[in-house]
A and B are shown apart, each in its own frame.
Chain A
Amino acid sequence: MTGFSKVAVFRQDMPPRGGYSPIPWARVPSRRIPLWPFVSLWFASNIFGYFYHMSEKREYWKNEMEMDESRSCVEPLILAEQDRIVLRQYRANRDEETKLMKDVPDWEVGTWFGEKVFKSRTYFPDRPHVLDYYGLARPSTQRLDINASQWQI
């Protein structure tokens, strides 16, 4: 060819030698951890926990029953002593009341100007009442039993 001694040199963008590497187009599933260890652990802990819980419950209620039983074993002794103390206090209260209201006219001991509390002559309360027991006590003594019901100080 004539007149083509110096030609502009350029580089054409061509694929590399040997061609491109293959494009990975197949599916790639994600990294996963297996589920079966966790499920089996949970199941086993349920089964084991059921039996353990049952035995613990049995033990707990056995201890509770023991506490209640010890209280009820001792109840007659406590009740006997309480009865004696209460009867002594009732007697002392009645005597004190006779002494105090000796000079008041028309006062019968144990009544409110003739109005009786216990109308029947054979009845006696089996449980002590707060007002009967602490009726003639000083307020500092009355405040000792401040949590008893039907109390107004």
Chain B
Amino acid sequence: MSFTHDLKLPSYDELECPVVNVSSPALRAGSFHLAKYCDLQFKEFMLCRQEEQDPRKCVKEGKDVSLCSIDFFRKVRDSCNDTFTTFWTCLDNAREGEMSFNYCKQEQRAFEQCAKDKMNLERPEPGYFSMVRMHDSKRPVPSDPFRLGSTERHPPKLEVPDPPSISQANEYPEARLGMKFGQRKPWMFEAKLWE
């Protein structure tokens, strides 16, 4: 509604993509293995999204994400269907309506075993996906949409000198009184704003 004809919106053909036809408990059941299988595509898409801050520019990466997910679920259906189905039905019928994993530990273990044996996919350890993961891609770095000042994806660490010691306070009398504009406690009665 607020887009003029100047703005370029992608056409319907560009946005055509097969949909991952999977219900939400099944998605939650396979989430860890999916993220392990499609790690590259996910990271590329999220990197693109974060750098460009524009969904129109990340349509291609989004399509890769969807296609990889469809491929994964097809693989699961071909090799591990029974354990996967029991697992996600158990999640669906879990207590209180939230699909929590701690009522379905047995089925989860069975599915993980099957995934390890048949699909050769091991689920990473529990804290893996909470940690920050770096990703570098061949995609060119876009221009600065938020004027951060750096166009490098991984900017180098600057050499910062050590702060001055207390013995050097004699050389800087203004540091003793407190800076004129800039204070640790600006509005408390102990702060001397200037001499």
Q: Quick check: B130 and A65 within 8 Å, CB to CB? A: yes
Chain A residue, CB-CB nearest to B43: A76
Chain A residue, CB-CB nearest to B7: A124
Please tell me if A93 contacts chain B, counting CB pairs below 8 Å.
yes
CA distance A118 to B31 in the complex (A): 37
| Chain A 52-84 interface residues, beta-carbon cutoff 8 Å to B | 62-63, 65-77, 79-81, 83-84
CA distance A76 to B35 in the complex (A): 9
Interchain nearest-CB distance for A72 vs B (Å)? 6
CA distance A131 to B88 in the complex (A): 36
| Chain B 171-187 interface residues, beta-carbon cutoff 8 Å to A | none
Q: Given contacts A63-B102, A132-B1, is CB(A91)–CB(B126) below 8 Å? A: no
Please tell me if B81 contacts chain A, counting CB pairs below 8 Å.
no
Residues of B within 8 A of A132 (CB): 1-3
Q: Quick check: B11 and A77 within 8 Å, CB to CB? A: no
Chain B residue, CB-CB nearest to A124: B54
Please tell me if B80 contacts chain A, counting CB pairs below 8 Å.
no
Interface string of A115-149 (1 = CB under 8 A from B): 01110010010100101100110000000000000
Residues of A within 8 A of B46 (CB): 75-76, 79
Please tell me if A102 contacts chain B, counting CB pairs below 8 Å.
no
Interchain CB contact (< 8 A) of A110 among B2, B34, B42: B2
Please tell me if B192 contacts chain A, counting CB pairs below 8 Å.
no
Q: Quick check: A81 and B1 within 8 Å, CB to CB? A: no
Please tell me if B113 contacts chain A, counting CB pairs below 8 Å.
no
Q: Quick check: B28 and A74 within 8 Å, CB to CB? A: yes
Interface string of A81-106 (1 = CB under 8 A from B): 10110111011011001100000000
Interchain CB contact (< 8 A) of A86 among B55, B58, B100: B55
Q: Quick check: B7 and A84 within 8 Å, CB to CB? A: no
CA distance A95 to B71 in the complex (A): 34
Interface string of B1-24 (1 = CB under 8 A from A): 111111101111001010110000
Of B61-69, B150-158, B162-170, the segment with at least 4 beta carbons within 8 Å of chain A is B61-69
| Chain B 122-141 interface residues, beta-carbon cutoff 8 Å to A | 126-130
Q: Quick check: A83 and B11 within 8 Å, CB to CB? A: no
Q: Quick check: A83 and B55 within 8 Å, CB to CB? A: yes
Q: Quick check: B11 and A91 within 8 Å, CB to CB? A: yes
Chain A residue, CB-CB nearest to B46: A76
Q: Quick check: B1 and A93 within 8 Å, CB to CB? A: yes
Residues of A within 8 A of B7 (CB): 110, 118, 121, 124
Residues of B within 8 A of A97 (CB): 1
Q: Quick check: B4 and A109 within 8 Å, CB to CB? A: yes
Interchain CB contact (< 8 A) of A121 among B6, B19, B61, B130: B6
Q: Quick check: A91 and B12 within 8 Å, CB to CB? A: yes
Residues of B within 8 A of A84 (CB): 15, 17, 59, 62
Q: A65-B126, A87-B59, A94-B1 are in contact. List 16 more A-B contacts (CB 8 A).
A: A63-B101, A63-B102, A70-B32, A74-B34, A76-B46, A77-B34, A77-B42, A77-B65, A79-B46, A83-B58, A87-B9, A91-B9, A118-B2, A118-B7, A129-B2, A131-B1
Q: What 5 A-B pairs have minimum CB-CB distances, sorted nearest first?
A: A80-B62, A110-B4, A117-B2, A135-B1, A73-B35
A-B contacts, 9 of them at CB < 8 A, read: A67-B100, A76-B42, A77-B34, A81-B62, A87-B59, A108-B4, A117-B2, A118-B3, A121-B7
